[in-house]
Amino acid sequence: MASRLHKAEMDNVNSPSTDQIAELQEKLFSQPVKKQLPIISELANAGEAGLEVLMTFLEKEGHNPTPAVGEAYIELYSATQLKTEAFLKEKFPEGVVPLKSERNIDYSPIQLALVQRDFQEADRLTLTKRCELAGEQAMQRKWIYFTEVENFPTTDLKTMDQLWYVHSQGKFGFSVQRKIWMSLGQDFPKLWTKIGWKKGNLWTRYPNEFIWDLSAPLGHLPLSNQLRGVREFASLMNHPAWKD
């Protein structure tokens, strides 16, 4: 009993004060996205008062899904409290990224895997959904021709990309990969090294040599099978979806 009382006293000592919570809230609403991310983490570890701020933030900013909005959603989802669960169910029953599709494809499994920080499963599902987008033959062979990528609807590619970008602190996604590729003068060999898909002359081996968490290089995920050649990924990088 005494030890539990001591722990409660220590928790009270370590918990941020009301003034500190108010200061964090003010910073959260005034800082750019990159500076919002550590504030969200701090609030998530500040007990119920911190979670209240995150719910307020999400309710006000959730219509504009940024990596900060995605991170706030993930922290509230991970809190597994009745209040946060009820809030998310009422305000964001389908998450913070609109799951739009021109071909009636359900992208919610990717979203759930990303929210649960299961990047390997999210990557597997992203390939599955791309095959589904390409058609029945692609689903049977479990890989995609570059000509099929050219016919992907912009809406669907942007949905998958936004899911990755918003739920990875802005580190992952097709658009992130394309930005790096463009910065390297559209040089694919340099890109493979930069995003960790190749080291020297050796391709990174799937799955154990890839990094399935946020410590991975920028643009590391989602994957594309380069052993089949560069044309499928080149079609993805050159898709009109990224030229709006």
Give me the CATH number covering residue 194: 1.10.10.1770
In this predicted structure, what is the pLDDT of residue 93?
Answer: 96
Positions of the chain with pLDDT lower than 70, given as ranges: 1-14, 226-228, 244
Residue 216: phi and psi, rounded to 5, are -65, 160
In this predicted structure, what is the pLDDT of residue 16?
Answer: 83
In this predicted structure, what is the pLDDT of residue 215?
Answer: 98
Q: Supply the pTM of this predicted model.
A: 0.93
* Residue 219 sits in the same domain as residue 162: yes
* Residue 239 sits in the same domain as residue 130: yes
- Rg (alpha carbons) of the chain, rounded to whole number: 20
What residues contact residue 144 under an 8 Å CB cut-off, 6+ apart? Answer: 130, 131, 134, 138, 232
* Residue 220 sits in the same domain as residue 121: yes
Is position 99 within any domain? no
Other residues' Cβ atoms within 10 Å of the Cβ of residue 182: 12
3-state secondary structure of 221: coil
Domain boundary among 91, 124, 151: 91
* Residue 230 sits in the same domain as residue 183: yes
Distances (CA, A) of 105 to 29, 98, 124, 230: 35, 13, 16, 26
* Residue 125 sits in the same domain as residue 236: yes
* Residue 182 sits in the same domain as residue 67: no
* Residue 230 sits in the same domain as residue 123: yes
Q: Is 42 exposed, middle or buried (0-12, 13-18, 19+ CB in 10 A)?
A: middle
In this predicted structure, what is the pLDDT of residue 2?
Answer: 41
Is position 103 within any domain? no
* Residue 21 sits in the same domain as residue 63: yes
How many domains does the chain contain in total? 2
* Residue 204 sits in the same domain as residue 149: yes
Q: Which residue has the tokens 């919570």?
A: 21
Residue-number span of the structural domain to which 85 is assigned: 2-91
Q: Which residues are paired to 228 by β-bridges?
A: none
In this predicted structure, what is the pLDDT of residue 15?
Answer: 74
What residues contact residue 43 under an 8 Å CB cut-off, 6+ apart? Answer: 21, 24, 25, 28, 50, 51, 53, 54, 75
Domain boundary among 76, 91, 106: 91
* Residue 120 sits in the same domain as residue 189: yes
* Residue 142 sits in the same domain as residue 218: yes
Q: Which residues are paired to 43 by β-bridges?
A: none
